[in-house]
């Protein structure tokens, strides 16, 4: 089933989060970003890992770049960079570690994207993940907000 890449969704398990990541990977194009936000433990890394494994299936492991800030992967269509900006002191640091190049040469998955402030990429899908304890410990609420080239895009769920 294809749905607009916009709106609110409920995910009841980590497997649902991983399925959303794989669906977003199929829609992501070169020059675009998936921008993830949400509290610690919300599932940003789970979604990012599934998305990257769908784009670069030969990668056996996709570690979170919490300490390295960025990891680069080569997919069959284009490279993808996984940024974790949690430890970023200033938005400009994202460009020092290769955000511009990542978007020029491929695509980017950005955790803690709100730390970019007004430097956030124009062609992006914002993915806000919130805990939903009312529906169980693994349940999440997700809001997708498209910008730029994502405006009319659909995703297969």
Token pair 């080239």: residue: 149
Please give the pLDDT value at position 64. Answer: 66
Report pLDDT for 59.
64
What span, in angstroms and rounded, lies between the C-alpha atoms of 120 and 116? 5
Residue 13 binned pLDDT confidence (cut-offs 50, 70, 90): confident
Q: pTM of the predicted model, to two decimals?
A: 0.89
Write down the domain spans for the chain: 2-148
Q: Quick check: 79 and 106 in contact, CB under 8 A?
A: yes
Q: Which of 101, 113, 115 is nearest to 147 (CA)?
A: 113
What fold is seen in the domain 2-148?
Rossmann fold (3.40.50)
């Amino acid at each position: 089933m294809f749905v607009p890449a916009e709106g609110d969704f409920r995910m009841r398990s980590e497997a649902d989060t991983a399925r959303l990541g794989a669906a977003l990977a199929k829609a992501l194009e070169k020059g675009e970003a998936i921008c993830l936000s949400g509290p610690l433990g919300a599932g940003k890394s789970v979604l990012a890992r599934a998305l990257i494994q769908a784009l670069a299936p030969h990668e056996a492991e996709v570690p979170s770049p919490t300490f390295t800030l960025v990891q680069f992967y080569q997919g069959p269509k284009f490279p993808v960079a996984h940024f974790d900006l949690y430890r970023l002191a200033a938005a400009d640091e994202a460009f020092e570690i290769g955000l511009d190049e990542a978007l020029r040469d491929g695509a980017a998955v950005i955790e803690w994207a709100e730390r970019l402030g007004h430097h956030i990429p124009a062609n992006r899908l914002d993915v806000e993940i919130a805990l939903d304890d009312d529906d169980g410990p693994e349940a999440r609420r997700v809001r997708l907000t498209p910008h730029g080239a994502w405006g009319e895009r659909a995703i297969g769920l």
